């Protein structure tokens, strides 16, 4: 083994490009490089592979001395590129932009590499113009979320998400993926990727679990440095044109929040925070990572003190405001000399801060602020200028931030690199999804698969088999690639958005021949085709941060997460009844409770979120063309697998923390810490599993009959009297869809969560309320003319065909609550109400109230459901919210809920209405 900085750089053979014959078996492959991680008694001093250079430091100080305060502040602002023009870049000396998930040049999802490079040119040239005549220049840079390949870009190679790569136990594979990702980012003319994520997820309810390599710090420690080296290369490589700036994130503890709540509360001790959640930063920064992104979560510890002790607002522990961790630890104790960037408007979550101003985050040590919207970054820029003028922000803090920004730009060779479109790889479409890149992704898929069950050695399958291919994910590329794929959440994509991609159904047809593949489960078809085996592919719908959190009223049970997932279980039962052996393949972003599905399957494979290369799966499921085994299963669980529905935090004991005692919030909520399949488990064709499963008979696993969510300890809470019905917002389930319609098409369309949705008389687009794109800006465009129907509606509709029985909420004296912000009061009458299948329904005129509300202020209006009972059949509620008008208006909508009387919480921001739609006194 070659070792660099204590990390494994390569592993002998590792089944790279070779079959089993003549190769080391998967179980025998050395994984020494990912089994050990040292104990860190103190925060370690970083020994970066990219050391400071005296001449460079002198040059930085010379530049700093010439810059005005306005020029310095411009370097600290990073808008979303859709919210800043080239003219503004030049005027305000903005130093960088980012593209959020789902942001593309000209809003064209299929933008080419050349389109991206040309878009980057616009900003690069504008930045150059901004310093014209100053006697010096500060180059521009563009950052993106290339987290499993260059995933925001059409035609790019999509690798398995990190959870699958963790199962591969192959540091060298990670290094090579980093190299390829860097090439594809460079092909679009961009400079910086927000990768890798080095979180250690400890509760599988977290919606970002799949972004972590493992629940155990060892794999994360040994992978982080390899990904950084792949992306950045050496100091000389980083100055070149085939590598990009790397960013370890999110500092620190995002994977350790209570109940797996995204942006939630972390209660680990400093010892555990350092040795469990921070080790990826140690290896990543040693490898030379130039950027650290601050985390959304809070850390509750006396050391995490308030930077403004005299301020009236009590600090809420958010990491963006943690001077102890960002400055005292990261910059001072560890000696990190790169830059700290905020997450998407992350500063605004600090108590007392807003999108447009946050003194605590500046003082805590954040250097670049990701302030995404135009009005917010302009306000934030001014707040920095005012803060210096008012002596609230020392000039030394501004100079520290800008010194770090200039240092990273110099180390990336930005002064020497030409404009983006003129760089070595820029605009080369052939780099995106190149054959050798796809081959590496296919290899990564093979290595990430974990075989959980293989009864009677049904696998590997013969290529002469007649195969029935079924299941919700068999031909669904969205389920296969997961979140952060072209769009932020991975939703709203079509087959054409992934050119050259292979679903598992495609791959099976390629492997055995289309004439041997059946997809119908109709009894007559099954009897006629007589399949030898069925491959059932099931999987979670795509999701990303916070949308993917499992809510309080749900568990880890796959078939119960969404109504649509139940179909896979029913299909399994049907095939079992027909005596057809089934190989089940699960696409998921976390381990899930699937005891019944395992019982019904002859073989069961955890495929995680494999990306676009479906043949990586068939390489292992099927024998080679000579009817002998080709590739073996190499994957070993990097996350413990749940035995019960609420075994959400059954983590391996970290070996690098002496005397580790599992904290209370890591206990299994059902009284045991034992998993079904422990960390390290995985079967292979040649060798037995190195770690035994909890139950030897995988045909008769006991079933967990829990009928309520993991945070619903009392079944009585499922009644309307004790439960809020979340319809739209951060806690809403998938049961309701936000739709809009107008006089041009009353059938309407579903509202996009990613981009603008427009009809003739209504336009809706995502905006930020408390979190990224968690609200919708609604513009009604009606003409309000006599005899002209220009009406439009915004509504929430249930996915249940016959509507839902909501009579219990009426009996509980519930109220319909809408959190909104009036931007332009209704020009004509606006109504709020419910429907039970048009024309069944009832609405109340709320025009007068909306006209009285202050503009630009978030408030919640609350209307008793009893006001709507005449004309409304609550037993068939299919539209639990509808807002309609015939004229013009602009409203921002953040949450919609039905709240029982017992849970009503009056406050100054709650405006209760009477049955005439008027404000109550």
Q: How many CB atoms lie within 10 A of CB 55?
A: 7
d(CA 908, CA 426): 54
- Is 316 strand, coil or helix? coil
**Among 150, 196, 201, 157, CA closest to 175:** 196
Which structure tokens are listed for 184? 């594809």
Strands 247-251 and 141-144: what pairing? unpaired
Strand order in the sheet with 192-193: 96-99, 141-144, 192-193
Which structure tokens are listed for 99? 């593209």
Q: Nearest 5 degrees, angle CA 815-CA 820-CA 822?
A: 130
| From 254, 259, 286, 343, the catalytic residue | 343
Q: Nearest 5 degrees, angle CA 191-CA 194-CA 200?
A: 155
Structure-derived torsion over alpha carbons of residues 859, 864, 868, 870, reported in degrees to the nearest 10: -160
Q: Nearest 5 degrees, angle CA 791-CA 795-CA 799?
A: 135
Length of the chain: 921
- Return the HEC string of 416-481: CCCCHHHCCCCCCHHHCCCHHHHHHHHHHHHHHCEEEEEHHHCCCECCCCCEEEECCCCCCHHHHH
598 backbone dihedrals φ, ψ, rounded to 5°:
-65, -45
Active site residue 515: no
- Is 559 strand, coil or helix? helix
Which structure tokens are listed for 772? 């990224």
Residue 20, C-beta contacts closer than 8 angstroms, at least 6 positions apart: 629, 630, 631, 632, 685, 686
Strands 888-899 and 533-539: what pairing? unpaired
- Is 99 strand, coil or helix? strand
E strands, 83-173, where?
A: 96-99, 141-144
d(CA 369, CA 386): 16
Are 277 and 297 a contacting pair, CB within 8 Å?
no
Which structure tokens are listed for 295? 């985390």
Active site residue 343: yes
**Among 466, 471, 464, CA closest to 504:** 471
**Among 266, 281, 261, CA closest to 196:** 281
**Among 625, 645, 640, 719, CA closest to 678:** 640
d(CA 681, CA 691): 5
Q: How many CB atoms lie within 10 A of CB 617?
A: 27
d(CA 408, CA 489): 30
Are 346 and 250 a contacting pair, CB within 8 Å?
no
Which structure tokens are listed for 595? 């005891």
Report the chain's C-alpha Rg in angstroms. 28
Which structure tokens are listed for 44? 């370690």
| From 476, 545, 815, 892, the catalytic residue | 545
**Among 180, 190, 188, CA closest to 159:** 180
Half-sphere exposure of 447 (CA within 13 A, CB side): 27
Are 22 and 633 a contacting pair, CB within 8 Å?
no
Structure-derived torsion over alpha carbons of residues 331, 333, 334, 336, reported in degrees to the nearest 10: 20
Which structure tokens are listed for 862? 């609350």
Which structure tokens are listed for 54? 């005296």
Are 813 and 864 a contacting pair, CB within 8 Å?
yes
List, by residue number, the catalytic residues: 343, 545
């Amino acid at each position: 083994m070659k070792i660099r900085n204590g990390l494994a750089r390569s592993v002998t053979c590792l089944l790279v490009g070779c079959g089993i014959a003549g190769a080391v078996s998967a179980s025998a492959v050395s994984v020494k490089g990912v089994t050990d991680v040292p104990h860190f008694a103190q925060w370690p001093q970083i020994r970066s592979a990219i050391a400071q250079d005296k001449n460079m430091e002198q040059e930085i100080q010379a530049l700093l001395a010439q810059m005005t305060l306005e020029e310095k502040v411009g370097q600290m602002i990073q808008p979303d590129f859709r919210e800043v023009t080239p003219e503004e870049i030049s005027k305000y000396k903005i130093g960088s932009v980012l593209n959020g998930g789902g942001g593309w040049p000209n809003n064209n999802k299929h933008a080419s590499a050349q389109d991206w490079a040309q878009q980057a040119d616009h900003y690069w040239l504008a930045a150059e113009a901004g310093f014209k005549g100053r006697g010096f220049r500060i180059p521009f840079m563009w950052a993106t979320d290339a987290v499993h390949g260059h995933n925001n870009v059409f035609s790019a190679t999509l690798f398995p998400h990190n959870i699958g790569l963790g199962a591969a136990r192959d540091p060298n594979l990670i290094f090579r993926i980093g190299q390829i990702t860097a090439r594809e980012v460079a092909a679009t003319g961009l400079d910086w990727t927000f990768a890798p994520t080095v979180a250690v997820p400890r509760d599988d309810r977290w919606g970002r679990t799949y972004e972590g390599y493992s629940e155990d710090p060892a794999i994360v420690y040994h992978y982080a440095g390899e990904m950084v080296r792949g992306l950045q290369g050496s100091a000389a490589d980083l100055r070149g044109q085939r590598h990009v700036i790397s960013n370890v994130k999110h500092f620190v503890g995002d994977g350790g929040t209570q109940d797996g709540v995204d942006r939630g509360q972390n209660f680990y001790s400093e010892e555990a925070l350092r040795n469990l959640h921070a080790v990826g930063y140690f290896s990543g920064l040693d490898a030379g990572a130039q950027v650290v992104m601050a985390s959304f979560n809070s850390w509750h510890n006396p050391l995490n003190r308030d930077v403004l002790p005299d301020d009236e607002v009590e600090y809420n522990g958010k990491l963006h405001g943690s001077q102890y961790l960002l400055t005292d630890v990261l910059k001072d104790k560890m000696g990190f000399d790169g830059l700290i960037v905020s997450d998407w408007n992350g500063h605004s979550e600090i108590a007392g801060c807003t999108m447009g101003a946050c003194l605590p985050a500046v003082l805590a040590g954040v250097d670049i602020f990701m302030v995404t919207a135009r009005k917010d970054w302009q306000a934030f820029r001014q707040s920095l200028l005012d803060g210096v003028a008012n002596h609230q922000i020392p000039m030394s803090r501004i100079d520290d931030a800008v010194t770090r920004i200039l240092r990273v730009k110099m180390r990336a060779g930005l002064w020497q690199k030409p404009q983006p479109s003129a760089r070595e790889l820029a605009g080369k479409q052939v780099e995106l999804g190149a054959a050798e890149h796809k081959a590496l992704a296919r290899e990564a898929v093979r290595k990430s698969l974990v075989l959980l069950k293989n009864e009677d050695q049904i696998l590997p399958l013969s290529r002469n088999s007649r195969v029935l291919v079924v299941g919700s994910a068999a031909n669904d590329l969205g389920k296969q690639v997961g979140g952060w794929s072209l769009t932020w959440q991975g939703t709203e994509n079509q087959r054409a958005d992934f050119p050259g991609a292979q679903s598992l159904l495609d791959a099976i047809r390629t492997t055995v021949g289309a004439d041997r593949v059946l997809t119908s489960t109709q009894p007559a078809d099954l009897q006629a085709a007589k399949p030898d085996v069925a491959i059932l592919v099931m999987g979670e719908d795509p999701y990303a941060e916070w949308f993917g959190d499992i809510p309080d009223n749900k568990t880890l049970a796959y078939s119960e997460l969404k109504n649509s997932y139940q179909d896979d279980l029913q299909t399994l039962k049907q095939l079992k009844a027909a005596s057809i052996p089934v190989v089940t393949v699960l696409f998921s972003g976390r381990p899930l409770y699937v005891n019944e599905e395992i019982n019904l399957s002859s073989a069961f494979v955890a495929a995680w979120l494999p990306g676009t290369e479906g043949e990586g799966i068939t390489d292992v499921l099927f024998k080679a063309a000579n009817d002998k085994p080709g590739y073996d299963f190499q994957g070993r669980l990097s996350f413990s697998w749940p035995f019960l529905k609420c075994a959400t935090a059954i983590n391996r004991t970290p070996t690098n923390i002496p005397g580790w005692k599992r904290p209370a919030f890591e206990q299994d909520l059902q009284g045991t810490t034992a998993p079904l399949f422990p960390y390290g488990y995985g079967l292979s064709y040649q060798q037995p599993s190195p770690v035994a499963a909890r139950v030897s008979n995988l045909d008769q696993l006991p079933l967990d009959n829990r009928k309520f969510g993991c945070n619903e300890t009392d079944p009585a809470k499922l009644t309307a009297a004790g439960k809020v019905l979340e319809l739209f917002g951060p806690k809403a389930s998938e049961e309701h869809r936000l739709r809009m319609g107008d006089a041009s098409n009353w059938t309407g369309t579903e509202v996009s969560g990613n981009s603008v949705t427009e009809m003739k008389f209504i336009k809706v687009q995502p905006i930020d309320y408390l979190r990224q794109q968690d609200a919708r800006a609604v513009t009604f465009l009606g003409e309000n003319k006599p005899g002209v129907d220009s009406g439009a509606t915004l509504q929430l509709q249930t996915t249940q065909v016959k509507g839902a029985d909501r009579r219990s909420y009426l009996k509980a004296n519930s109220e319909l609550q809408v959190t909104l912000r009036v931007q332009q009061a209704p020009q004509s009458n606006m109504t709020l109400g419910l429907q039970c299948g048009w024309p069944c329904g009832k609405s109340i005129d709320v025009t007068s109230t909306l006209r009285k509300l202050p503009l630009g202020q978030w408030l919640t209006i609350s209307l008793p459901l009893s006001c709507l009972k005449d004309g409304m059949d609550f037993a068939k509620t299919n539209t639990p919210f509808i807002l309609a008008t015939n004229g013009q208006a602009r409203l921002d909508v953040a949450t919609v809920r039905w709240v029982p009387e017992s849970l009503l919480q009056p406050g100054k921001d709650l405006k209760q209405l009477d049955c005439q739609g008027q404000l109550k006194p």
